[in-house]
Structure 1
Amino acid sequence: MSRFYIAGCGRSGTTLMLRLFKNFEGCTVIFKEAPVSLLFETEVNTLHVVTKRNAGAYKVLPETIEVVKIIYMVRSPYDVLTSYHSKDTKRESFYIDPERWVSEFESYKKLVENRSGKGVHVVKYEELINDPDLVQRNISQFCNMAIAKTFSEAESIKASSVEKFKSNDMFRNFLLGLDDSVKASIKEFCEHFGYEYWLG
Protein backbone atom coordinates (compact mmCIF):
# COMPACT_ATOMS: atom_id res chain seq x y z
CA MET A 1 0.00 0.00 0.00
CA SER A 2 1.17 3.52 -0.80
CA ARG A 3 0.69 6.20 1.84
CA PHE A 4 0.59 9.92 1.10
CA TYR A 5 0.53 12.85 3.48
CA ILE A 6 -0.47 16.34 2.36
CA ALA A 7 1.55 18.90 4.30
CA GLY A 8 2.23 22.62 4.18
CA CYS A 9 1.43 25.74 6.15
CA GLY A 10 -2.19 26.58 6.86
CA ARG A 11 -3.94 28.56 4.09
CA SER A 12 -1.68 26.99 1.45
CA GLY A 13 -4.26 24.75 -0.22
CA THR A 14 -3.91 21.52 1.74
CA THR A 15 -7.67 21.08 2.11
CA LEU A 16 -8.25 21.68 -1.59
CA MET A 17 -5.53 19.17 -2.48
CA LEU A 18 -6.99 16.53 -0.15
CA ARG A 19 -10.39 16.98 -1.79
CA LEU A 20 -8.87 16.64 -5.25
CA PHE A 21 -7.15 13.36 -4.39
CA LYS A 22 -10.48 11.56 -4.76
CA ASN A 23 -9.92 11.91 -8.50
CA PHE A 24 -7.18 9.28 -8.55
CA GLU A 25 -7.99 5.60 -9.00
CA GLY A 26 -7.74 3.23 -6.06
CA CYS A 27 -7.11 5.91 -3.45
CA THR A 28 -8.87 6.14 -0.09
CA VAL A 29 -9.11 9.74 1.04
CA ILE A 30 -9.38 10.31 4.79
CA PHE A 31 -11.17 13.65 4.96
CA LYS A 32 -9.75 15.01 8.20
CA GLU A 33 -6.73 16.75 9.63
CA ALA A 34 -4.62 14.09 11.26
CA PRO A 35 -1.18 13.00 12.39
CA VAL A 36 0.71 10.86 9.91
CA SER A 37 0.15 7.83 12.16
CA LEU A 38 -3.48 7.69 10.99
CA LEU A 39 -2.25 6.36 7.65
CA PHE A 40 -1.11 3.21 9.45
CA GLU A 41 -4.03 2.92 11.84
CA THR A 42 -6.79 3.03 9.22
CA GLU A 43 -7.78 -0.18 7.46
CA VAL A 44 -8.49 0.31 3.77
CA ASN A 45 -8.97 -2.05 0.83
CA THR A 46 -7.38 0.20 -1.80
CA LEU A 47 -3.84 0.48 -3.12
CA HIS A 48 -3.38 4.02 -1.86
CA VAL A 49 -4.43 6.12 1.12
CA VAL A 50 -4.03 9.82 1.82
CA THR A 51 -4.82 12.35 4.53
CA LYS A 52 -3.67 15.87 5.39
CA ARG A 53 -1.62 17.33 8.17
CA ASN A 54 -3.06 18.60 11.41
CA ALA A 55 -2.10 21.92 12.97
CA GLY A 56 0.92 20.62 14.86
CA ALA A 57 2.26 18.30 12.17
CA TYR A 58 5.10 20.62 11.20
CA LYS A 59 6.75 19.98 14.57
CA VAL A 60 7.36 16.30 13.72
CA LEU A 61 7.15 16.33 9.91
CA PRO A 62 10.95 16.13 9.37
CA GLU A 63 10.99 12.78 11.19
CA THR A 64 8.22 11.22 9.08
CA ILE A 65 9.35 7.79 7.93
CA GLU A 66 10.29 7.65 4.26
CA VAL A 67 7.68 5.03 3.35
CA VAL A 68 5.19 7.92 3.55
CA LYS A 69 5.43 10.21 0.54
CA ILE A 70 4.80 13.89 1.15
CA ILE A 71 2.77 16.21 -1.06
CA TYR A 72 3.95 19.59 0.18
CA MET A 73 1.78 22.61 -0.62
CA VAL A 74 3.32 26.06 -0.85
CA ARG A 75 1.70 29.39 -1.55
CA SER A 76 2.87 32.98 -1.79
CA PRO A 77 3.80 34.02 1.76
CA TYR A 78 2.10 37.36 1.16
CA ASP A 79 -1.24 35.62 0.63
CA VAL A 80 -0.75 33.11 3.45
CA LEU A 81 0.13 35.78 6.00
CA THR A 82 -2.85 37.98 5.05
CA SER A 83 -5.45 35.22 4.87
CA TYR A 84 -8.46 34.78 7.11
CA HIS A 85 -9.99 31.42 7.92
CA SER A 86 -13.30 30.88 6.17
CA LYS A 87 -15.03 30.36 9.53
CA ASP A 88 -13.66 33.62 10.99
CA THR A 89 -16.60 35.98 10.62
CA LYS A 90 -15.12 38.74 12.83
CA ARG A 91 -11.79 38.86 10.96
CA GLU A 92 -9.95 40.54 13.82
CA SER A 93 -6.64 38.86 12.99
CA PHE A 94 -5.04 36.84 10.22
CA TYR A 95 -5.18 33.06 10.55
CA ILE A 96 -1.46 32.28 10.34
CA ASP A 97 0.87 34.35 12.52
CA PRO A 98 4.39 35.09 11.21
CA GLU A 99 6.10 32.90 13.82
CA ARG A 100 4.03 29.90 12.78
CA TRP A 101 4.82 30.56 9.12
CA VAL A 102 8.56 30.71 9.81
CA SER A 103 8.37 27.47 11.82
CA GLU A 104 6.56 25.74 8.96
CA PHE A 105 9.27 26.78 6.50
CA GLU A 106 12.03 25.61 8.83
CA SER A 107 10.22 22.28 9.15
CA TYR A 108 10.07 21.92 5.37
CA LYS A 109 13.80 22.58 5.01
CA LYS A 110 14.61 20.00 7.66
CA LEU A 111 12.30 17.46 6.01
CA VAL A 112 14.05 17.86 2.66
CA GLU A 113 17.45 17.70 4.32
CA ASN A 114 16.58 14.53 6.22
CA ARG A 115 15.27 12.84 3.08
CA SER A 116 17.90 14.22 0.72
CA GLY A 117 15.01 15.60 -1.29
CA LYS A 118 13.48 12.18 -1.95
CA GLY A 119 9.81 11.35 -1.42
CA VAL A 120 8.72 14.99 -1.31
CA HIS A 121 6.67 16.54 -4.12
CA VAL A 122 6.09 20.29 -3.95
CA VAL A 123 2.91 21.79 -5.37
CA LYS A 124 2.59 25.54 -5.71
CA TYR A 125 -0.94 26.72 -4.97
CA GLU A 126 -0.79 29.21 -7.82
CA GLU A 127 0.14 26.49 -10.32
CA LEU A 128 -2.73 24.35 -9.05
CA ILE A 129 -5.09 27.25 -9.68
CA ASN A 130 -3.70 28.12 -13.11
CA ASP A 131 -3.20 24.63 -14.55
CA PRO A 132 -4.81 21.99 -12.31
CA ASP A 133 -4.53 19.18 -14.85
CA LEU A 134 -0.77 19.63 -15.30
CA VAL A 135 -0.37 19.55 -11.54
CA GLN A 136 -2.48 16.40 -11.42
CA ARG A 137 -0.35 14.68 -14.06
CA ASN A 138 2.80 15.49 -12.11
CA ILE A 139 1.26 14.11 -8.91
CA SER A 140 0.10 11.02 -10.78
CA GLN A 141 3.67 10.35 -11.88
CA PHE A 142 5.12 11.00 -8.43
CA CYS A 143 2.54 8.83 -6.66
CA ASN A 144 2.26 6.19 -9.41
CA MET A 145 -1.52 6.56 -9.41
CA ALA A 146 -3.84 6.54 -12.40
CA ILE A 147 -6.14 9.49 -13.00
CA ALA A 148 -9.84 8.70 -12.68
CA LYS A 149 -11.08 12.19 -13.46
CA THR A 150 -9.19 15.38 -14.23
CA PHE A 151 -9.03 18.04 -11.57
CA SER A 152 -10.56 20.60 -13.92
CA GLU A 153 -13.54 18.35 -14.63
CA ALA A 154 -14.07 17.47 -10.99
CA GLU A 155 -14.06 20.90 -9.43
CA SER A 156 -14.28 24.57 -10.29
CA ILE A 157 -11.07 26.01 -8.89
CA LYS A 158 -11.26 29.77 -8.42
CA ALA A 159 -8.36 32.21 -8.56
CA SER A 160 -10.07 34.91 -6.49
CA SER A 161 -7.83 34.29 -3.47
CA VAL A 162 -4.56 34.97 -5.32
CA GLU A 163 -2.60 38.19 -4.68
CA LYS A 164 -5.31 40.01 -2.75
CA PHE A 165 -2.57 41.96 -0.98
CA LYS A 166 -1.84 43.91 -4.19
CA SER A 167 -5.14 45.77 -3.97
CA ASN A 168 -5.36 46.05 -0.18
CA ASP A 169 -3.33 48.75 1.56
CA MET A 170 -3.94 47.23 5.00
CA PHE A 171 -2.48 43.90 3.85
CA ARG A 172 0.55 45.59 2.27
CA ASN A 173 1.24 47.73 5.32
CA PHE A 174 1.04 44.66 7.55
CA LEU A 175 3.58 42.85 5.39
CA LEU A 176 5.93 45.83 5.22
CA GLY A 177 5.80 46.10 9.01
CA LEU A 178 6.95 42.53 9.66
CA ASP A 179 10.10 41.97 11.72
CA ASP A 180 13.34 41.83 9.76
CA SER A 181 13.89 38.22 10.81
CA VAL A 182 10.54 37.24 9.29
CA LYS A 183 11.32 39.20 6.14
CA ALA A 184 14.61 37.33 5.86
CA SER A 185 12.74 34.01 5.96
CA ILE A 186 10.25 35.28 3.39
CA LYS A 187 13.12 36.31 1.12
CA GLU A 188 14.70 32.86 1.42
CA PHE A 189 11.32 31.20 0.75
CA CYS A 190 10.73 33.37 -2.32
CA GLU A 191 14.17 32.60 -3.72
CA HIS A 192 13.71 28.87 -3.10
CA PHE A 193 10.23 28.53 -4.60
CA GLY A 194 10.34 31.22 -7.27
CA TYR A 195 8.20 34.00 -5.82
CA GLU A 196 8.92 37.69 -6.17
CA TYR A 197 10.35 39.37 -3.07
CA TRP A 198 9.33 43.01 -2.65
CA LEU A 199 9.61 43.77 1.06
CA GLY A 200 12.86 45.72 0.73
Structure 2
Amino acid sequence: MSASRAVAALEGQTVRLAQAIGRVFDRKRPKQPNRIFIAGCARSGTTLTRDLMACFDDTYVLGGEAPFPVLIDMKRREANVVVKRTAESHELLSHLPAEIGLIYCVRHPFDVLTSQHPETMHVRRFHVTTGRWEAEYDGLLRLRRAQPRRAIHYLRYEDLIAGPDAAQQAIADAFGLAARLRFSSDPNNPIRRSSLRKWERNEEFRTYLHTLPRSFLDRIEAFCREFGYDLPQAS
Protein backbone atom coordinates (compact mmCIF):
# COMPACT_ATOMS: atom_id res chain seq x y z
CA MET A 1 0.00 0.00 0.00
CA SER A 2 1.35 3.41 -0.95
CA ALA A 3 1.96 6.05 1.68
CA SER A 4 -0.89 8.22 0.37
CA ARG A 5 -3.34 5.33 0.53
CA ALA A 6 -2.20 4.48 4.04
CA VAL A 7 -2.75 8.06 5.15
CA ALA A 8 -6.20 8.12 3.55
CA ALA A 9 -7.14 4.86 5.24
CA LEU A 10 -5.93 6.16 8.59
CA GLU A 11 -7.94 9.36 8.12
CA GLY A 12 -11.03 7.32 7.32
CA GLN A 13 -10.60 5.23 10.45
CA THR A 14 -10.12 8.39 12.51
CA VAL A 15 -13.34 9.89 11.16
CA ARG A 16 -15.30 6.71 11.87
CA LEU A 17 -13.87 6.53 15.38
CA ALA A 18 -14.78 10.16 16.05
CA GLN A 19 -18.30 9.55 14.81
CA ALA A 20 -18.66 6.50 17.04
CA ILE A 21 -17.41 8.42 20.07
CA GLY A 22 -19.82 11.24 19.24
CA ARG A 23 -22.74 8.83 19.16
CA VAL A 24 -21.78 7.46 22.56
CA PHE A 25 -21.63 10.93 24.08
CA ASP A 26 -24.92 11.87 22.42
CA ARG A 27 -26.59 8.91 24.10
CA LYS A 28 -25.15 9.88 27.47
CA ARG A 29 -25.92 13.58 27.12
CA PRO A 30 -29.32 14.34 28.68
CA LYS A 31 -31.88 15.53 26.17
CA GLN A 32 -32.86 19.14 26.64
CA PRO A 33 -36.54 19.65 27.49
CA ASN A 34 -38.98 21.48 25.29
CA ARG A 35 -39.20 24.80 27.14
CA ILE A 36 -42.37 26.89 26.77
CA PHE A 37 -42.99 30.34 28.23
CA ILE A 38 -46.50 31.82 28.51
CA ALA A 39 -46.72 35.61 28.28
CA GLY A 40 -49.35 38.26 27.67
CA CYS A 41 -51.20 40.93 29.58
CA ALA A 42 -52.99 40.06 32.80
CA ARG A 43 -56.61 38.92 32.32
CA SER A 44 -55.79 37.65 28.82
CA GLY A 45 -56.00 33.96 29.66
CA THR A 46 -52.43 33.36 30.77
CA THR A 47 -53.45 31.54 33.96
CA LEU A 48 -56.06 29.40 32.21
CA THR A 49 -53.58 28.54 29.49
CA ARG A 50 -50.93 27.59 32.03
CA ASP A 51 -53.33 25.31 33.89
CA LEU A 52 -54.59 23.68 30.69
CA MET A 53 -51.04 22.88 29.56
CA ALA A 54 -51.10 20.05 32.11
CA CYS A 55 -53.44 18.30 29.67
CA PHE A 56 -50.44 17.48 27.49
CA ASP A 57 -48.52 14.26 27.95
CA ASP A 58 -45.06 14.24 29.56
CA THR A 59 -45.37 17.89 30.52
CA TYR A 60 -44.43 19.66 33.75
CA VAL A 61 -46.23 22.93 34.47
CA LEU A 62 -44.78 25.16 37.15
CA GLY A 63 -47.48 26.46 39.47
CA GLY A 64 -47.70 30.18 40.01
CA GLU A 65 -45.51 32.59 38.07
CA ALA A 66 -41.79 32.87 37.40
CA PRO A 67 -39.36 34.76 35.15
CA PHE A 68 -38.19 32.93 32.05
CA PRO A 69 -34.62 32.18 33.32
CA VAL A 70 -36.25 29.61 35.60
CA LEU A 71 -36.96 27.54 32.48
CA ILE A 72 -33.26 27.31 31.68
CA ASP A 73 -32.25 26.26 35.18
CA MET A 74 -35.12 23.82 35.70
CA LYS A 75 -34.13 20.16 35.88
CA ARG A 76 -37.07 17.90 35.13
CA ARG A 77 -37.55 14.38 33.78
CA GLU A 78 -40.53 15.44 31.70
CA ALA A 79 -39.96 16.18 28.02
CA ASN A 80 -41.81 19.51 28.20
CA VAL A 81 -41.68 22.24 30.84
CA VAL A 82 -44.01 25.24 31.02
CA VAL A 83 -43.71 28.50 32.96
CA LYS A 84 -46.10 31.46 33.11
CA ARG A 85 -44.70 34.98 33.17
CA THR A 86 -44.63 37.33 36.14
CA ALA A 87 -46.13 40.82 36.13
CA GLU A 88 -42.66 42.20 35.35
CA SER A 89 -41.66 39.75 32.61
CA HIS A 90 -42.64 42.14 29.82
CA GLU A 91 -39.66 44.31 30.76
CA LEU A 92 -37.17 41.64 29.63
CA LEU A 93 -39.28 39.73 27.13
CA SER A 94 -37.12 40.95 24.24
CA HIS A 95 -34.24 38.95 25.77
CA LEU A 96 -36.14 35.65 25.72
CA PRO A 97 -33.60 33.00 24.60
CA ALA A 98 -34.17 31.47 21.19
CA GLU A 99 -34.42 27.96 22.64
CA ILE A 100 -37.51 28.89 24.67
CA GLY A 101 -40.82 28.67 22.83
CA LEU A 102 -43.41 31.37 23.39
CA ILE A 103 -47.18 31.29 23.75
CA TYR A 104 -48.45 34.86 23.78
CA CYS A 105 -52.01 35.27 25.04
CA VAL A 106 -54.18 38.09 23.73
CA ARG A 107 -57.75 39.16 24.47
CA HIS A 108 -60.04 41.98 23.41
CA PRO A 109 -58.64 45.04 25.22
CA PHE A 110 -62.08 46.14 26.42
CA ASP A 111 -62.49 42.82 28.24
CA VAL A 112 -58.99 43.06 29.69
CA LEU A 113 -59.48 46.62 30.91
CA THR A 114 -62.83 45.88 32.58
CA SER A 115 -61.83 42.59 34.20
CA GLN A 116 -61.77 42.31 37.97
CA HIS A 117 -59.45 40.35 40.22
CA PRO A 118 -60.07 39.44 43.88
CA GLU A 119 -56.52 40.43 44.84
CA THR A 120 -56.93 44.03 43.65
CA MET A 121 -60.65 44.74 44.04
CA HIS A 122 -59.99 46.50 47.35
CA VAL A 123 -57.50 48.79 45.61
CA ARG A 124 -59.18 49.60 42.30
CA ARG A 125 -62.32 48.73 40.36
CA PHE A 126 -60.53 46.99 37.49
CA HIS A 127 -57.40 44.88 37.70
CA VAL A 128 -55.49 46.04 34.61
CA THR A 129 -54.60 49.71 34.38
CA THR A 130 -54.00 51.44 31.07
CA GLY A 131 -50.35 51.69 32.07
CA ARG A 132 -50.06 47.94 32.56
CA TRP A 133 -51.76 47.23 29.25
CA GLU A 134 -49.42 49.57 27.37
CA ALA A 135 -46.36 48.17 29.14
CA GLU A 136 -47.29 44.62 28.11
CA TYR A 137 -47.94 45.67 24.51
CA ASP A 138 -44.66 47.60 24.41
CA GLY A 139 -42.87 44.49 25.66
CA LEU A 140 -44.28 42.47 22.79
CA LEU A 141 -43.29 45.11 20.25
CA ARG A 142 -39.74 45.24 21.62
CA LEU A 143 -39.49 41.47 21.36
CA ARG A 144 -40.54 41.50 17.73
CA ARG A 145 -38.07 44.26 16.89
CA ALA A 146 -35.24 42.46 18.68
CA GLN A 147 -36.10 39.01 17.32
CA PRO A 148 -37.92 39.51 14.00
CA ARG A 149 -37.56 35.84 13.02
CA ARG A 150 -38.87 34.42 16.29
CA ALA A 151 -41.88 32.15 16.05
CA ILE A 152 -44.62 33.34 18.40
CA HIS A 153 -47.72 31.27 18.98
CA TYR A 154 -50.49 33.79 19.55
CA LEU A 155 -53.43 32.42 21.50
CA ARG A 156 -56.59 34.50 21.43
CA TYR A 157 -58.60 34.06 24.59
CA GLU A 158 -61.78 34.14 22.53
CA ASP A 159 -60.58 31.23 20.40
CA LEU A 160 -59.58 29.25 23.48
CA ILE A 161 -63.05 29.71 24.96
CA ALA A 162 -64.99 29.11 21.73
CA GLY A 163 -62.95 26.11 20.59
CA PRO A 164 -60.69 24.77 23.35
CA ASP A 165 -59.84 21.54 21.58
CA ALA A 166 -58.94 23.31 18.34
CA ALA A 167 -56.76 25.70 20.34
CA GLN A 168 -55.13 22.71 22.02
CA GLN A 169 -54.37 21.10 18.67
CA ALA A 170 -52.80 24.32 17.41
CA ILE A 171 -50.53 24.42 20.46
CA ALA A 172 -49.66 20.75 20.00
CA ASP A 173 -48.72 21.36 16.36
CA ALA A 174 -46.65 24.43 17.23
CA PHE A 175 -44.58 22.76 19.95
CA GLY A 176 -44.67 19.06 19.07
CA LEU A 177 -46.86 18.07 22.03
CA ALA A 178 -49.22 15.14 22.48
CA ALA A 179 -52.51 15.49 24.34
CA ARG A 180 -53.38 13.12 27.16
CA LEU A 181 -56.65 14.93 27.93
CA ARG A 182 -58.75 17.31 25.90
CA PHE A 183 -58.90 20.89 27.09
CA SER A 184 -62.68 20.68 26.98
CA SER A 185 -62.62 17.62 29.25
CA ASP A 186 -60.41 19.04 31.98
CA PRO A 187 -62.56 18.97 35.15
CA ASN A 188 -60.24 21.37 36.96
CA ASN A 189 -60.45 24.14 34.37
CA PRO A 190 -63.98 24.54 33.06
CA ILE A 191 -64.41 26.78 30.03
CA ARG A 192 -66.79 29.66 30.73
CA ARG A 193 -68.20 31.51 27.75
CA SER A 194 -69.81 34.08 30.05
CA SER A 195 -66.42 35.76 30.41
CA LEU A 196 -66.57 37.14 26.88
CA ARG A 197 -67.51 40.74 26.06
CA LYS A 198 -68.96 41.58 29.45
CA TRP A 199 -68.53 45.27 28.70
CA GLU A 200 -71.30 45.02 26.10
CA ARG A 201 -73.77 44.00 28.81
CA ASN A 202 -72.62 46.33 31.57
CA GLU A 203 -73.31 50.06 31.44
CA GLU A 204 -70.74 50.80 34.15
CA PHE A 205 -68.03 49.11 32.12
CA ARG A 206 -68.98 51.04 28.99
CA THR A 207 -68.98 54.30 30.94
CA TYR A 208 -65.45 53.62 32.10
CA LEU A 209 -64.27 52.75 28.60
CA HIS A 210 -65.71 56.03 27.37
CA THR A 211 -63.28 57.89 29.66
CA LEU A 212 -60.18 56.40 28.03
CA PRO A 213 -58.03 59.05 26.30
CA ARG A 214 -57.95 59.19 22.52
CA SER A 215 -54.21 58.54 22.40
CA PHE A 216 -54.68 55.31 24.33
CA LEU A 217 -57.59 54.23 22.14
CA ASP A 218 -55.35 54.74 19.10
CA ARG A 219 -52.96 52.15 20.51
CA ILE A 220 -55.82 49.79 21.22
CA GLU A 221 -57.01 50.25 17.65
CA ALA A 222 -53.63 49.14 16.28
CA PHE A 223 -53.70 46.09 18.55
CA CYS A 224 -57.24 45.22 17.48
CA ARG A 225 -56.39 45.48 13.79
CA GLU A 226 -53.53 43.04 14.18
CA PHE A 227 -55.39 40.44 16.21
CA GLY A 228 -58.75 40.61 14.49
CA TYR A 229 -60.86 42.42 17.07
CA ASP A 230 -63.63 44.86 16.33
CA LEU A 231 -63.45 48.18 18.14
CA PRO A 232 -66.92 49.67 18.57
CA GLN A 233 -67.46 52.98 20.27
CA ALA A 234 -66.85 52.67 24.00
CA SER A 235 -69.89 54.77 24.82
The 2-side partners of 1:113 and 1:50 are apart by 24
TM-score normalised over the length of structure 2: 0.81
Residue 50 of structure 2 aligns with which residue?
Answer: 18
Higher strand fraction (1 or 2): 1
SS in 2 for 1:4: strand
Deviation beyond 6 Å, 4+ runs, structure 1: none
Question: What is the distance in 1 between the residues matched to 2:229 and 2:118?
Answer: 25
**1:146 deviation in Å?**
0.8
Aligned to 1:138: 170
The structure whose Rg is larger is 2
Shift of 1:199: 3.4
Partner-residue secondary structure (3-state), 1:55: coil
Whether the 8 Å CA contact 1:66–1:119 is kept in 2: the answer is: no
Corresponding residue of 1:164: 198
- 1:75-133: CA deviation from partner (whole Å, max 9, x where unpaired): 01001001111344547421110011011112112222322252210000010000000
Q: 1:174 to 1:142 in 2, by over 3 A?
A: same
The higher relative CO (CA closer than 8 Å, separation ≥ 6) is in 1
Out of 80-89 and 22-31, give the one that drifted further.
80-89
Instruction: Give unpaired runs (5+ residues) of structure 2.
Output: 1-32
Alignment partner of 2:65: what SS? strand
Equivalent in the alignment of 1:65: 97
2:53 partner amino acid:
F
Report what 2:215 is aligned to: 181
| Partner residue, 2:9 | none
**Are 1:193 and 2:227 matched, yes or no?**
yes
Structure 1 unmatched ranges of 5 or more: none
Q: SS in structure 1 opposite 2:63?
A: strand
Asked if the contact 2:56–2:178 (Cα under 8 Å) also holds between the matched residues in 1, the reply is yes
C-alpha distance in 2 between matches for 1:98 and 1:18: 24
How many residues were matched structurally?
200
**Code of the aligned partner of 2:163:** D
